Structure 1
Amino acid sequence: MTYVVTENCIKCKYTDCVEVCPVDCFYEGETMLIINPDECIDCGVCEAECPAGAILPDTQPNTEFWVELANTYSGQWPNITSKIAPLADADSYKDEAGKYDKYFSSKPPSGD
């Protein structure tokens, strides 16, 4: 089992989860974070820390897509190991549905 970051993270990118991860298995994209499934030790501490409720165990229904996304981008995006500010207007996007099709970016963070 591993934990996955789901659509709720897109356009929010809160990093409370990164701060508590004991193995630094989070990776940062332009619009969301992911968890590397090969590095996650299944401790679950990140799940409770996510203000957007975006982190779930991969045993939950409909998480296969997010595991595949993490497998793809954990080798392309930079590792993130400390808390940073969320995206601008994150709170206004927190509960929006359908964010993947509207806002997902395969790019790494811009470095602004």
Structure 2
Amino acid sequence: MPYVVTDECIKCKYTDCVEVCPVDCFYEGENMLVIHPDECIDCGVCEPECPAEAIFPDTDDRAAKWLEMNRDYAGQWPNLTRKKDAMPDADSFKGMPGKMEKYFSPKPGK
């Protein structure tokens, strides 16, 4: 039961989750994070740390469509192992619906 990151992360990219991950399975895109589902050990420590409430176990109905997206981009984006500052204006994007269609970037993070 790996965990996945959903579109709630887009334009927020809080990295509190990265700081607590014991296996460094987070990968950074330009404006969101993903979890590599084959590296995730299902410990769940990341889920309560996400201020945007963007992380769910893959057994949750809200996460089903995000599993392959997380796997695909984890293979393309750089691994992130330390906490960084959230995106500018992250708090104003927190909880905004429809971010995937409007704001998702497939570009890797820096």
For the aligned pair, the TM-score class normalised by the smaller chain equals over 0.9
Unaligned runs of 5+ in 1: none
TM-score normalised to structure 1 length: 0.96
Q: In 1, Cα distance between the equivalents of 2:76 and 2:7?
A: 19
Deviation sequence 1:41-94 (CA, Å, 0-9, x none): 000000010001000111000322211101111111000000000000000000
Aligned to 2:78: 78
CA distance in 2, matches of 1:60, 1:33: 19
4+ residue runs of structure 1 moved beyond 6 angstroms? none
The residue aligned with 1:108 is 108
Cα pair 2:56 2:62 within 8 Å, conserved? no
In structure 1, the partner of 2:11 is 11
CA distance in 2: counterparts of 1:64 and 1:29, whole angstroms? 20
- Normalising by structure 2, report the TM-score: 0.97
Within 5 Å, which residues of 2 pair with 1:43-54? 43-54=43-54
RMSD value over aligned CA atoms? 0.7
Cα distance in 1 for partners of 2:48, 2:79 equals 21
Distance 1:11 1:38 in 2: 25
User: How many angstroms does 1:40 deviate by?
Assistant: 0.1
- TM-superposed CA distance for 1:19, in Å, is 0.1
Shift of 1:7: 1.0
Alignment pair present for 1:89 and 2:83: no
Quick one: which amino acid aligns to residue 6 of structure 2?
A: T
Tell me the amino acid that sits aligned with residue 70 of structure 1: N
The code of the aligned residue for 1:31 comes to: N
SS of 1:27's partner is strand
Unaligned runs of 5+ in 2: none
Paired position in structure 2 for 1:2: 2
Task: Find the aligned partners of 1:62 and 1:85 in 2 and give their Cα distance.
Answer: 26
> 1-side partners of 2:66 and 2:29: how far apart?
14
2:99 corresponds to: 99
2:66 counterpart residue number: 66
Question: Once the two structures are aligned, what percentage of the paired residues are identical?
Answer: 66
Match of 2:95, as an amino acid?
D
